[in-house]
Amino acid sequence: MQNSRPDPLLPEGVLLHREKATLWPASANVLAVRDSEGLSLVDVGCGHEETYLRLKEFLASQGFRIHDVHTVVLTHAHPDHMGAMRFLLQEIRPRVLLHPVEVPLAAEPSRLNQTFGMDIPFRYGMADIPRERADIIEYFRSLCPMAGAEATHELEPGGELRLGEFTFQVVETPGHANGLVSLFEESTGLLFSADAVGEVVAWYAPQSGGLTGFLEGLDRLEALPAALLVPSHGGVSGRPAEEIARTRAYLLRREEKIIRQLASGPLPFPELVKRIFKNPLIHLFPGPQIIQCHLDKLEAEGRVRLHGEEEGWLVELVP
């Protein structure tokens, strides 16, 4: 149900449309920033018509119409953050801003198959469907439909973004998406963490920045004097440092689990995936992609070795 009262934790002029469900791929929260000209939105949610109508109802409850929206900032080109552009662009023509590497993905969403690492389960013989059926846009069609959108402007990584009376720092937080950005507003301490930190730790893939990129992004967020954290999935938190630390701990716990599995001897890559992820639904995506990210990091640190196909894709600890 809509809450028409402004969130008491948020600074005056900043509104948050929170989606109830947080389990991926639930629709992302939408942040709205008011100014004298109208509204800027950060993300717009899934491409289900009901989701778009809920967003419009929320804006109406705050005294705005969709025609008041002059700017849309997309934190990254994923269906749960930008699918609703399908409906929004039928009504208005706002400025659309994205990180430069997300611009081509937003324009042509079929390119997401590459960034989601859909080649990985096939490399290891883990997929029992034809290669052409492993289409991420098709996979999302019923869960959270995607839409294409042309960016009108690019966000400047590390630069500033002016929305209303607020100046946000554009913080690069890759891992889950190469051009995933978090937004930090210094005067209020507001950190919009997008998918870098949230109620559930997001998936990651080597072609989306990998685990190393993910951890570096968390370092960047940790260095900010944030007072309030607003994630794309989940509720507002007054303890940003704890939320960031919890995300990091979760990622490192997964690394420990992998090492523990390998401690009693080498395992083929597919078997390692199945031991870490019990749910067979994620053995095509994002299980193999996540494990590949961990092995990339551990190999770079000289802690594991991943053998080739001739050796059955064996993964072993380096003694």
Contact region with Zn ion (CB under 5 A), list: 7-15, 145-153, 193-201, 243-251:
193-201
Residue with the CB atom nearest Zn ion in the bound state:
78
Contact region with Zn ion (CB under 5 A), list: 33-41, 49-57, 227-235, 274-282:
227-235
Contact region with Zn ion (CB under 5 A), list: 7-15, 225-233, 235-243, 287-295:
225-233
Tokens at 99, concatenated: 């990180």
Question: In 3D, which of 100, 94, 103 has the Cα closest to residue 44?
Answer: 94
Nearer to Zn ion, 27 or 292 (CB): 27
Strands of the chain (E only): list them.
14-17, 30-35, 38-42, 69-73, 95-98, 153-154, 160-163, 166-172, 181-185, 190-194, 228-231, 267-268, 304-306, 314-317
> How many angstroms separate the CA atoms of 115 and 120, rounded?
11
Contact 196, 66 (CB under 8 A): no
As measured in angstroms, the least distance from the Cβ of 164 to Zn ion is 24
Nearer to Zn ion, 203 or 313 (CB): 203
The size of the interface with Zn ion (CB under 5 A), counted in residues, is 5
Nearer to Zn ion, 136 or 272 (CB): 136
Q: Is 195 in the site for Zn ion (CB under 5 A)?
A: yes
Among 19, 43, 80, 102, binds Zn ion (CB under 5 A): 80
Nearer to Zn ion, 232 or 289 (CB): 232
Footprint of Zn ion on 280-319 (CB under 5 A): none
Question: In 3D, which of 280, 258, 267, 278 has the Cα closest to residue 307?
Answer: 267
Furthest-apart CA pair in the chain: how many Å?
Answer: 65
Contact region with Zn ion (CB under 5 A), list: 42-50, 76-84, 104-112, 262-270:
76-84
CA 114 to chain centre: 16
User: What's the angle, vertex CA 164, arms to CA 159 and CA 167, rounded to 5?
Assistant: 30
Question: In 3D, which of 218, 309, 217 has the Cα closest to residue 268?
Answer: 309
Q: Is 78 in the site for Zn ion (CB under 5 A)?
A: yes
As measured in angstroms, the least distance from the Cβ of 26 to Zn ion is 8
Contact 136, 93 (CB under 8 A): no
Nearer to Zn ion, 232 or 237 (CB): 232
Q: Is 102 in the site for Zn ion (CB under 5 A)?
A: no
Binding site for Zn ion (CB under 5 A): 28, 78, 80, 195, 232
